[in-house]
Copies of this chain bind each other. A is one copy, B any other.
Amino acid sequence: MSHNTFGHLFRVTTWGESHGPALGCVVDGCPPGIPLEPAEIQQFLDKRRPGQSRFTTQRKEPDEVEILSGVFSDGEGRQVTTGTPISLMIRNVDQRSKDYGDIASKFRPGHADYAYFKKYGIRDYRGGGRSSARETAARVAAGAVARKIIPGVRIRGALVQVGDIKVDRSLWDWDAVDANPFFCPDAATAVKWADYLDGIRKSGSSIGAVIEVVAEGVPAGWGAPLYGKLDQDIASAMMSINAVKAVEIGAGMAAAELTGEENADEIRIGHDGEPCFLSNHAGGVLGGISTGQPVVCRFAVKPTSSILTQRKTIDINGEEADVMTKGRHDPCVGIRAVPIGEAMMAIVLADHFLRHRAQIG
């Protein structure tokens, strides 16, 4: 058991606070002989990096990753993994010097401030300390390593809902995802979100969102019932991300409204002689085991609790108070959750790939 480790055979232990000197992770269990250059990790960090549009926090962090261990030259000019732990470190750069007075002593409603203080009796209040979304940089770095060990699996994410504005699934285009600042798979909806979020941003408010992550190419058989089910671990992974309040697999909550006939994804034999499902309400998982269909997961992210509106709260002395966040502000923290969700999916799948190989060979 560990408080700060995720995964069983592919294990990620993260460390670091928002305003400490650095953050990072140790990736353990990676097979040897896998080419791994910093640039391969950096591309995913760049996707998650803050301050890339006016719709996310303006903190400026280069998020440059250093590989401190676990790789070596393969003698042919490539740097490869050695099977030993891979230590990844990212220096914090833009820990803006400021007066934390208000945040140091008052709990922001909806924020982890209160719960951390009640648990630990002490908290690093600078930028949220350990509960800051800064930590997710380490997840994204680890996810980049995870992708390398399941090269046949393609993992992509998209933002599918902001407030009550959902994407039009009939217009879904994966190529659109990188062409707008929202990871939106539908260009028309991206325009609507820009307008909507400008309003949210200017009013100092924030709004929730839904992210969808799809993994294609997962072979049938991954997952370890009954308590290491693939969907169970995906739920655990996504719920561990800051601000996530719900996780759905396949039909998700809507499964409650389906009849047995509707829900049962019928099977035929495809032109290639392989089993072919006629629908995917299961989201690629039955009985906790992958079926060979795309693994489909969605999760809801609540609005950031650091808003520019005054809210009722109490302080660390138990006195009633009002609090209002100043400074950098993130109108929709859900946007940057897209690469994070992808990373967590990659980590879960890499772990289950190894677990499957252990038991089945």
**Docked-complex contact A232 and B240, CB < 8 angstroms:** yes
**Docked-complex contact B11 and A2, CB < 8 angstroms:** yes
Any B CB within 8 A of the CB of A95? no
Any B CB within 8 A of the CB of A163? yes
Q: Which residues of B contact A235 (CB under 8 A)?
A: 235-236, 238-239, 247
**Docked-complex contact A267 and B312, CB < 8 angstroms:** yes
**Docked-complex contact B26 and A220, CB < 8 angstroms:** no
- Residues A111 and B287 in contact in the complex (CB < 8 Å), given A2-B227, A130-B226, A252-B245: yes
Q: How far is the CA of A234 from the CA of B235 in the complex (A)?
A: 9
A295 to chain B, nearest CB (A): 12
Q: How far is the CA of A247 from the CA of B292 in the complex (A)?
A: 23
Any B CB within 8 A of the CB of A186? no
**Docked-complex contact A3 and B208, CB < 8 angstroms:** no
Proximity string of chain A (291-321) to chain B, C-beta cutoff 8 Å, 1 when within and 0 when not: 1100000001111111101011110001110
Q: Which residues of B contact A253 (CB under 8 A)?
A: 210, 245-246, 248, 252-253, 300
Within 8 A of B (CB), among A180-231: 200, 205-210, 220-229, 231
A124 to chain B, nearest CB (A): 4
**Docked-complex contact A220 and B118, CB < 8 angstroms:** yes
The 4 closest A-B pairs by CB, nearest first: A112-B287, A115-B289, A358-B358, A110-B264
**Docked-complex contact A33 and B110, CB < 8 angstroms:** no
- Residues A359 and B83 in contact in the complex (CB < 8 Å), given A16-B69, A292-B118: yes
Q: How far is the CA of A306 from the CA of B259 in the complex (A)?
A: 11
**Docked-complex contact B112 and A286, CB < 8 angstroms:** yes
Any B CB within 8 A of the CB of A131? yes
**Docked-complex contact A300 and B256, CB < 8 angstroms:** yes
Interface segment, one of A36-44, A54-62, A167-175, A276-284 = A276-284
Whose C-beta in chain B lies nearest to the C-beta of A163? B257
Any B CB within 8 A of the CB of A22? yes
**Docked-complex contact B115 and A287, CB < 8 angstroms:** yes
- Residues A249 and B245 in contact in the complex (CB < 8 Å), given A87-B24, A311-B266: yes
Any B CB within 8 A of the CB of A63? no
**Docked-complex contact A359 and B225, CB < 8 angstroms:** no
- Contact among B32, B206, B259 for A207, CB-based, below 8 A: B259
A225 to chain B, nearest CB (A): 7
Proximity string of chain A (235-275) to chain B, C-beta cutoff 8 Å, 1 when within and 0 when not: 11011101001111111111111111111111111000101
Q: How far is the CA of A257 from the CA of B303 in the complex (A)?
A: 9
- Residues A259 and B289 in contact in the complex (CB < 8 Å), given A1-B228, A1-B355, A246-B247: no
**Docked-complex contact A208 and B112, CB < 8 angstroms:** no
Q: How far is the CA of A300 from the CA of B263 in the complex (A)?
A: 13
